[in-house]
Amino acid sequence: MRKNLLLISALSLFTSFLFYNCSSDDNAPETEVEVPEEEPQKEGIENYVTFENVLTAFGDGLSQSVDGTFEFPTDSHQLQAIKMYIQDHCPSRDCDEWDRYANVYVKDQETDTWLEIGRFITPYWVGTEKLERGLELDVTDFKSLLSGETELRIYTETWNDKGRTYSVDFDFIYGETDYKYSAVVPVIQYNKSSIDGVPYGSSHDLEMNKSIELPSDIEAAHLRTIISGWGHATPNDIGGRGCAEWCFRTHNILIDGVPEFEHYMGPLGCADNPIDNQSPGNWQGDRAGWCPGMMVPVREDVLNAELFGNSFEYEYALEDWTNNGMNGDAFYAISTFVVVKSNSPITEKPSVN
């Protein structure tokens, strides 16, 4: 009987406890759960001036390249695009009169490596004043490196003291982007100058094959290639077109031994160049994939998602042709980069070996 009384008493106390707590919860203020606000999308264009009237030239006390350190914004995940503008100043025709190989580089601070972000060919005798902002190129692929304190280099393969004088500025364009984050890694860079490229039609020991491993946490990837041909080597193509400046060829990028992408090194319509005051000079003749007074085209090849998180074999294959050695050498200046993108931060870059 005593045990039953104790059990009834305990149940009574427990019921009272539940009733009290339920009553108290009903009267208590609701706890607010903090939901982080989504970062508002930044809009508009911010302009950043880098090189201003810098001279690249050859001779005592002169240099074919100029380096500089500049401060860029650090909110690259908000960027829709980055455009680079190169103004080649030569209003009085007192610059290097020839069509010269030239490019702009950014330094990857982690690897201490210079990456070619754009290549252009100077016009004959004149500058780019006929274009309001000069030559234009989309360099969004390099937004992970064009951030914060950034080192840039501009180079011209000039061989006189007149050289070329440049100003370079960038538009950082904010707005809805395809992917917030990206990373870029060089695959091959045989592009220091026109004659430091890949010999065409003769033997060489440059590596044209690479093993590339892509991260698994990416949503898109592509190869970015710039290529231009140089030299007047023989045998000539029909019409006296020597290689590699004038001969039209088709190159292939092989993925795991299979040709996946074609690069046709054919006419771009040099005679239609808006910089049409390059006289004297053979600026209207169609070269192999480039023109005097123009940017060298960027060739973008989208990689299959099946490669994400895996490794594959890359090969850049030139069309078969043999230099007979009767009129000098031929070269292709080539740079290829692998670019990966994601809407989540990229924790691991591609590996290239």
Render 119-185 in DSSP notation, one character per residue. Answer: EEEPPSSS-STTSTT-EEEE-GGGTTTSSEEEEEEEEE---SSS-EEEEEEEEEEES--S-SEEEEE
Q: Look at residue 39 in the predicted model and tell me its pLDDT.
A: 75
Please determine, for residue 343, whether its predicted confidence score (pLDDT) is greater than 60. Answer: yes
DSSP designation for 15: H
Closest CA to 294 of 173, 162, 119: 119
CA distance 98 to 333: 18
Say if residues 256 and 213 touch (Cβ distance below 8 Å).
no
Please determine, for residue 68, whether its predicted confidence score (pLDDT) is greater than 60. Answer: yes
Q: Look at residue 41 in the predicted model and tell me its pLDDT.
A: 83
For the segment 188-244, what is each residue's pLDDT rounded down to a tens digit? 999 999 999 999 999 999 999 999 999 999 999 999 999 999 999 999 999 999 999
Q: Look at residue 32 in the predicted model and tell me its pLDDT.
A: 52
Q: CA 45, 47, 53: angle at the middle one, nearest 5?
A: 155
Please determine, for residue 330, whether its predicted confidence score (pLDDT) is greater than 70. Answer: yes
From the candidates 96, 97, 116, 157, which is the catalytic residue?
A: 157
From the candidates 96, 97, 116, 245, which is the catalytic residue?
A: 245
Closest CA to 221 of 176, 187, 263: 187
Question: Residues of the chain with pLDDT > 70: what percent?
Answer: 89
CATH numbers and ranges of domains, the chain: 39-177 (2.60.120.230), 179-353 (2.60.120.230)
Split at pLDDT 50, 70, 90, the class of 6 is very low
Please determine, for residue 4, whether its predicted confidence score (pLDDT) is greater than 70. Answer: no
For the segment 267-303, what is each residue's pLDDT rounded down to a tens digit? 999 999 999 999 898 999 999 999 999 999 999 999 9
Q: What is the mean pLDDT of residues 92-103?
A: 97
Residue 157: active-site member: yes
Question: Residues of the chain with pLDDT > 90: what percent?
Answer: 87
Residue 108: active-site member: no
Which tokens in the block code for residue 115? 């990456």
From the candidates 97, 99, 108, 329, which is the catalytic residue?
A: 99
For the segment 139-192, what is each residue's pLDDT rounded down to a tens digit? 999 999 999 999 999 999 999 999 999 999 999 999 999 999 999 999 999 999
Which residues touch 311 (CB under 8 Å, ≥6 apart)? 211, 212, 213, 214, 351
